[in-house]
Amino acid sequence: MVYYISFILIGIGIYGFLTQKNLFKHLISLTIIDTAINIFIISLGYISGEEAPIYSKYTPIANFVDPLPQALVLTAIVIGVGILALGVSLLIKVYEKYGTLDVEEIVAKEGK
Amino acid sequence: MRRFLSALIVLGLIMFFISTLPLIPEFGKASLSKVSRAFIDKDVNGNGGNIQYGVSKDLENGAANVVTSIVVDYRSFDTLGEVTVLFTSALGVGIILSGYKRKKFGREPNFILRVSVGILLPLILLFGAYVFIHGHLTPGGGFPGGTIIAAGILLLYLSNEEFDLSKTVKFVEGISGSLYVIVGLLGLAVSGVFLINFLPTGVVGNLFSSGIVPIIYILIGFKVGAELSGIVAELHREG
Amino acid sequence: MSALLIAVPLLIAFLFVPLKNKIKYILPFVALFSLILILKLPIEQVNFLGGWKAPFGITLVLDNSSYYSLIVVNIIFFLLSLIPQIIEKDLSLIFLILMASINGLILTGDLFNSFVFLEITSVAAYILSSSKRNYYGAFKYLILGSIAGAFYLLGTLYSYIGTGSLNLADISKNINSEFLAVVPILIFIGLAVETKIFPLAGWVPDVYASGSALTPAILATGVTFSMMYLFGRIFITVFHGEFLNVVYIFGLITVVVAELSALKQDNLLRALSFSSIAQAGLFLSVISMNSYESLTAGYFHLLNDITAKFVLFIIAASIGKSFIKNKTTGIAFSIASFSLIGFPLFAGFRSKLLILKTAFLNQNYILPIILLFATIIEIAYVLRWNIKLWYPDNILPQEKEKTQKLSWNVNLILLIVALVIIVIGFYPDIYLKIAQNIASGLTNYRAYVTNVLGGM
């Protein structure tokens, strides 16, 4: 089931990117896709009944879910944050330059 | 028309993904890959296996948190790249928004905010430091720890109009980033391999148990904290 | 030792954050250092980072193909670092990071690590493309590039499920046909933005034609070359040429669409951007014939293209409307543009001839037709631009005064590169040797797997 959720979220993200005219919504679509993929990665490594992959007092011996996807998702999240920050700052400048975030209006102003 | 076409594309994409479902294991029934197995047993070099908390010692990697052992030791190079992505985008935010001045409201922030920051800030910073120092033992590590510290810095920005940290932030992120690379280069100098864990490991579960892992995670904590604070500071400006 | 190629530029970038203004003077030394380091490195060396052996840790693989790709890319960086005029003040740090990440992209032997380096490269490229206030183009690139990056990540994940490993050599050895039907599609979408395949190449003209000389000069040469190398590495070494039929068709469509659009442009930089897309499409369709000869021809053509584009983009971005005040620059421009269309005796002629020969050897007659069609269109617009710039009509006197003379070091480097184009036209052996080495490294996947995973 979780897989379907992440596939549908990816679909929503792509649909938003293809149809929306507001640039900020493109950024939101990107975030949705990123999140969907992160959910997908995490759920791939899940083994029901097993513990989080940390040796501790309560889990002294290895009975763990797959730790590698979790490590990968950590990297993916951080990269996503970096790109989001960059995108937002670009949008601030786009708005300053064109006075709008609408794709069609920007293209019309570029053409002039 | 555009919406219809897009919906068609999206439908095709979802169908494609659903058609791949037979390939991937059912949810909750994944099996450990050989790589993950070796990471959990700390058995890459063939002298691990059957780890027990508080008993096993002198393993190839001593971190009790297996995810940390992957992020900071087995695949440390990825993390260096990841830190670089964050560094580059923080730099980019600074370049793109350069010339902007700090946003000023011209009035003093709320009394409750000012006073509570004084109480909360040390606690937040302490918590962030705890999270990244114990990254190899408990959930957490440099990235969450740094984010918590950046949240504390955000509080400072909100509560004080004159507060500016951009010089310090640049300095901290530069120093901690270069120290990370230098730790890697030290490995190269000591045993000829970049980013090797050249310090001894101890008993799984002790604070000093995993060589350079905590050192690197502390550096990452400072770096991420500085970078996110830098981004917060830059986005707090206006033209 | 090959880790130094990534570590040193990164270290210097980190160290010089507080002293951003001084870094300009260090760039040539860093570039020279990595160039010398590469030449001193032994080939056929695998570097296990952190000391963890192959399928577990991350490996840096230095074989024939990555060695020669590194040389090409680092020469480009060295040449660019000698032209500090076009590197805007703040962008020097980004330049260093780009250098580290491209070296990493070429060296890495790990699929997820290549994703990380792909993202560093793209983040640096987004920042570069936002120069000259080109924020909208940069944003478009950012969104497209990041969505593609997400697909690349998905492809990485599917190959992890399929083989239980992220190591390229291990994936190449263990991947089964069921996963070979899925993973290449995802990776192809992931790389399509950077390799400029038609439906996803819409960002290219907006970014390359921003007016900044550095952005296209670096993105159309060094970054493109490393992406094409990665493409060859993944699709030919790892996937054994699976899925290349589809790439072939997309490549040909890209050529036709891009050349037709290039003809319509009334801005030189935009025309060159479309030509860049077209050459990328041509390259991809040539290498998708997947043989040693076609790979040689493809990389030889790519080398010629990036050499020509290096000259063309720098001149197009820094010169005004005519060559009146810059005669030497004009000569370099004309040489490079003639090489681009494949005029006999220039470098481009050699590679186009080689492509035709390979296509006929493979009994492929569609590619030659498309190539000839593309060449005719190229001749049309390249000649038009040459005439327009050499004999400008209706240029106003005040505009004439505004055009500045390019400084001597820019002219010198452009002339040297133009000279290389002519030399290659007569003695193509140097470029051919690079292309042959890359091709042999990429096609010989058995050697790659044994090299990384150890003897079996």
Rounded distance between C-alpha atoms, residue C435 and residue C69, angstroms: 9
> CB-based contact (8 Å) between C164 and chain B?
yes
Structure tokens at C401: 């005064």
Contacts of C51 in chain B (CB under 8 A): 191, 193, 196-197
Amino acid at B136: H
Q: Are the beta carbons of A44 and B30 separated by less than 8 Å?
A: yes
Candidates C4, C8, C10: best to mutate against B (most CBs of B within 10 A) is: C10
Structure tokens at A17: 């990117």
Do C130 and C94 form a contact (C-beta atoms < 8 A)? no
Query: For residue C97, what is the enclosing H or E element?
Result: helix C91-107
CA atoms within 13 A on the CB side of A46: 14
> Which ranges of B69-141 would DSSP assign to H, the alpha helix?
76-96, 111-133
Q: Are the beta carbons of A90 and C133 separated by less than 8 Å?
A: no
Q: Which residues of chain C have pLDDT under 70?
A: 320, 394-404, 455-456
> CB-based contact (8 Å) between A92 and chain B?
yes
Rounded distance between C-alpha atoms, residue B189 and residue B201, angstroms: 19
Residue A64 φ then ψ, to 5°? -115, 160
**Who contacts A7 (Cβ-Cβ below 8 Å, separation ≥6)?**
A36, A40, B14, B17, B18
Return the higher-pLDDT residue of B49 and A33.
A33
Query: For residue B191, what is the enclosing H or E element?
Result: helix B166-191
> CB-based contact (8 Å) between A75 and chain B?
yes
Task: Compute CA distances B84 → A75, C14, C208, C251, whole Å.
Answer: 11, 9, 25, 33
The count of structural domains within chain C is 1
Amino acid at B21: L
Per-residue pLDDT at A79: 93
Task: Compute CA distances B228 → B78, B83, B224, whole Å.
Answer: 19, 11, 6
Per-residue pLDDT at C398: 62
Do C222 and C73 form a contact (C-beta atoms < 8 A)? yes
Do C283 and C296 form a contact (C-beta atoms < 8 A)? no
Residue C329 φ then ψ, to 5°? -60, -40
CA atoms within 13 A on the CB side of A41: 28
Closest CA of chain A from B173, distance in Å: 15
Q: Are the beta carbons of B34 and C158 separated by less than 8 Å?
A: no
> Which ranges of C202-346 would DSSP assign to H, the alpha helix?
203-208, 214-218, 224-232, 244-264, 268-287, 292-318, 327-341
Contacts of C50 in chain B (CB under 8 A): 73-74, 76-77, 187, 193-197
Nearest CA in chain B to C157: B24
Task: Compute CA distances A18 → A109, C253, C429, whole Å.
Answer: 21, 22, 47
Task: Please give the radius of gyration of chain A, using alpha carbons only, rounded to the nearest integer.
Answer: 20
Nearest CA in chain C to B182: C11
DSSP string, C133-181: T-HHHHHHHHHHHHHHHHHHHHHHHHHHHHHS--BHHHHHHH--HHHHT
Do C381 and C294 form a contact (C-beta atoms < 8 A)? no
Do C359 and C367 form a contact (C-beta atoms < 8 A)? yes
Q: Which of C286, C312, C310, C281 is nearest to C299 (CA)?
A: C286
- For each of the domains in chain A, give its residue range(s) and CATH number, in order of start: 2-111 (1.10.287.3510)
Interface pTM (ipTM) of the complex? 0.96
3-state secondary structure C174-217: HCCHHHHCCHHHHHHHHHHCCCCCHHHCCHHHHHHCCCCCHHHH
Do C119 and C149 form a contact (C-beta atoms < 8 A)? yes
Residue C260 CA, chain-centre distance (Å), reads 22
Label residues B172-192 b or e (16+ Cβ within 10 Å = b): bbbbbbbbbbbbbbbbbeeee
Neighbours of B70 (CB within 10 A): 27
Contacts of B35 in chain A (CB under 8 A): 68
Do B77 and C113 form a contact (C-beta atoms < 8 A)? yes
Q: Which of C152, C28, C153 is nearest to C99 (CA)?
A: C28
Termini Cα distance of chain B: 39
Contacts of B38 in chain C (CB under 8 A): 56
A41-86 confidence digits (pLDDT tens): 999 889 888 888 888 888 888 889 999 999 999 999 999 999 999 9
Q: Are the beta carbons of A69 and C157 separated by less than 8 Å?
A: yes
Which residue in A11, A56, A83 is closest to B53 by CB distance?
A56
Contacts of C127 in chain B (CB under 8 A): 88, 91-92, 95-96
Q: Which of C353, A29, C120 is nearest to C128 (CA)?
A: C120
Contacts of A29 in chain C (CB under 8 A): 143
Q: Which residues of chain B have pLDDT under 50?
A: none
Which residue in B20, B73, B170 is closest to C18 by CB distance?
B170
Return the higher-pLDDT residue of C88 and A4.
A4
Q: Are the beta carbons of B181 and C123 separated by less than 8 Å?
A: no
Per-residue pLDDT at A110: 81
Task: Compute CA distances A70 → A55, B139, C212, C309, whole Å.
Answer: 16, 12, 41, 42
Rounded distance between C-alpha atoms, residue C5 and residue C101, angstroms: 9
Task: Compute CA distances B222 → B172, B218, C32, whole Å.
Answer: 7, 6, 32
Over pLDDT 70: what percentage of chain C?
A: 97
Q: Are the beta carbons of B70 and A67 separated by less than 8 Å?
A: yes
> CB-based contact (8 Å) between B40 and chain A?
yes
Per-residue pLDDT at C249: 92
> CB-based contact (8 Å) between B31 and chain A?
yes
Task: Please give the radius of gyration of chain B, using alpha carbons only, rounded to the nearest integer.
Answer: 22
Which residue in B33, B74, B175 is closest to C164 by CB distance?
B33
> What's the sign of the alpha-carbon dihedral B209, B210, B211, B212?
negative
Structure tokens at A65: 């879910």
Per-residue pLDDT at C88: 79
Say if residue A50 is exposed, middle or buried (CB neighbours under 10 Å; 0-12, 13-18, 19+): middle
CA atoms within 13 A on the CB side of C396: 3
**Who contacts C331 (Cβ-Cβ below 8 Å, separation ≥6)?**
C415, C418
Nearest CA in chain B to A89: B93
Query: What SS3 state is found at C82?
Result: coil
Task: Compute CA distances C28 → B44, B139, B185, C354, whole Å.
Answer: 41, 44, 22, 35
Rounded distance between C-alpha atoms, residue C449 and residue C456, angstroms: 9
Closest CA of chain C from A59, distance in Å: 24
Contacts of A64 in chain B (CB under 8 A): 40, 66
Taking phi first (over 0 means left), then psi (-120 to 50 degrees means alpha), and beta for anything else, what does residue C6 get? alpha
> CB-based contact (8 Å) between C161 and chain B?
yes
CA atoms within 13 A on the CB side of B221: 25
**Who contacts C48 (Cβ-Cβ below 8 Å, separation ≥6)?**
B193, C54, C57, C59
Query: What SS3 state is found at A47?
Result: strand
Structure tokens at C55: 């399928």
The label of the residue with tokens 């950046």 reads B150
Over pLDDT 70: what percentage of chain A?
A: 99
Per-residue pLDDT at C17: 84
Instruction: Return the domain boundaries, chain B.
Output: 34-238
Neighbours of C345 (CB within 10 A): 11
Per-residue pLDDT at C308: 93
Do C212 and C132 form a contact (C-beta atoms < 8 A)? yes
Rounded distance between C-alpha atoms, residue B82 and residue B192, angstroms: 23
Closest CA of chain A from C139, distance in Å: 6
- For residue C62, the cross-strand partners are C45
Task: Residue C107: give the domain boundaries.
Answer: 4-453
Label residues C259-276 b or e (16+ Cβ within 10 Å = b): bebbeebeebbbbbbbbb
- To the nearest 5 percent, what fractions of chain B are helix, strand and coil? 60, 5, 35
Rounded distance between C-alpha atoms, residue C153 and residue C171, angstroms: 15
